[in-house]
Structure 1
């Protein structure tokens, strides 16, 4: 090997390694996981505005998962908690979540009330009152924010299509002091 072909060969090996790394990172970001910055206070105390999370695009969505999906009326993504899956009936009575007739505790909900005249953080509702469906139809989800007093969610924009889901929040990576695996 001559002196001029050695630098070319080394340059080509570096170029191939860098291109391979770019392709792998693109494939991972496009099909497996993606970083995202949380905006707003709708999921407090679970997430603060400007938290950085990793969204898994291959997770199966279950009840109470925190999912990221395309906002119904904006060019951005929302993060909310899955409350109703296809076939579920959902209602809220006196700040108690009832799914398919079973009451559920919601330890993740922000229960701080600023207004002393306000008695509860979530107004009473039934799925039928909000969506005109008695149960969540196939291909849709019913979602709520953890900060119910400051969340635009299925109570306001209705059911979300499963097709609009980017993925499930799995890890909070920033701020480092709040690093969390979900």
Structure 2
């Protein structure tokens, strides 16, 4: 096959990739787009190209393809992803005040590999939601729904009808888990608590993530959907449904700061 024909075929493929990738997402004007394509469509010289010309053409093709591969993620539509850029995976040290709750929690259902939430005393602000709205990502101290609270086996198992979990779904949203990933209104939840396999403590998920798949569930108004960070150890909204906001007894601020 002649070198000129090979180059023409490669340029044809490159035009096709640019049409279906870069031009689809990048903000090119129609005039600029046609100008670029016009330059690419120019026929190669009828003269037999030398190795330098062929090398330059190949380098151009490879460079443009690398640009496409590198920058394509930047132009990926974000409508399919829900991001929590506020909640930190770190647990802060905070000052305990007299109107707060000092709580020793003896459960590993929020553990992510470093005895999270139970290696030290927790400070809980019981009045936090009197002036603040519930937010996705908040770790909260809450009372189980009435049917759970009145179940004597629950009290025997957990010592008290209260627990700590994280707010993952908000009123009116539809939530489900699939392949160890949380989805909110069919959008991936991009957060450290939204991807089960990011948690090294979720060992069983590495064996069979689908075991934790759930059906789609629409959260009633005035309720939130709670999950423990360690899904395989947590008893949460997957088991008893959404929790009324009035059942939230406070926000977990962090570990007690010792003087």
- Same fold (TM > 0.5): yes
Instruction: Please report how far the alpha carbon of residue 117 of structure 1 lies from its aligned counterpart in structure 2 after TM superposition.
Output: 7.5
- With normalisation by structure 2, the TM-score equals 0.48
Other-structure match for 1:5:
none
Q: Does 1:39 align with 2:106?
A: yes
Structure 1 contact 91–97 (Cα < 8 Å) conserved? yes
Aligned residues: 140
What is the rounded CA distance, in whole Å, between the counterparts of 1:53 and 1:116 in structure 2?
A: 28
Instruction: Please report how far the alpha carbon of residue 80 of structure 1 lies from its aligned counterpart in structure 2 after TM superposition.
Output: 0.1
Other-structure match for 1:118:
207
Instruction: Please report how far the alpha carbon of residue 51 of structure 1 lies from its aligned counterpart in structure 2 after TM superposition.
Output: 2.7
RMSD: 2.6
Structure 1 contact 38–47 (Cα < 8 Å) conserved? no
Other-structure match for 1:55:
124
What is the rounded CA distance, in whole Å, between the counterparts of 1:146 and 1:116 in structure 2?
A: 12
Other-structure match for 1:22:
none
Instruction: Please report how far the alpha carbon of residue 48 of structure 1 lies from its aligned counterpart in structure 2 after TM superposition.
Output: 4.2
Other-structure match for 2:184:
99
Other-structure match for 2:139:
66
Question: Once the two structures are superposed, what CA deviation does each residue of 1:117-138 show, in whole Å capped at 9, x if it has no partner?
Answer: 822287111343xxxxxx2111
Instruction: Please report how far the alpha carbon of residue 69 of structure 1 lies from its aligned counterpart in structure 2 after TM superposition.
Output: 0.3
Question: Once the two structures are superposed, what CA deviation does each residue of 1:60-84 show, in whole Å capped at 9, x if it has no partner?
Answer: 3101110100133333320000011
SS in 1 for 2:246: helix
The within-5 A match list for 1:1-182 is 29=99, 33-45=100-112, 47-49=116-118, 51-56=120-125, 57-59=127-129, 60=132, 61-71=134-144, 72-73=148-149, 74=155, 75-108=160-193, 110-115=199-204, 118-120=207-209, 123-128=212-217, 135-173=218-256
Question: Once the two structures are superposed, what CA deviation does each residue of 1:123-163 show, in whole Å capped at 9, x if it has no partner?
Answer: 111343xxxxxx21112111010011111111112211111
Other-structure match for 1:180:
none
Instruction: Please report how far the alpha carbon of residue 87 of structure 1 lies from its aligned counterpart in structure 2 after TM superposition.
Output: 0.8
More strand by share: 1
- With normalisation by structure 1, the TM-score equals 0.66
Structure 2 contact 142–164 (Cα < 8 Å) conserved? yes
Gaps of 5+ in 2: 1-96, 150-154
What is the rounded CA distance, in whole Å, between the counterparts of 1:156 and 1:116 in structure 2?
A: 17
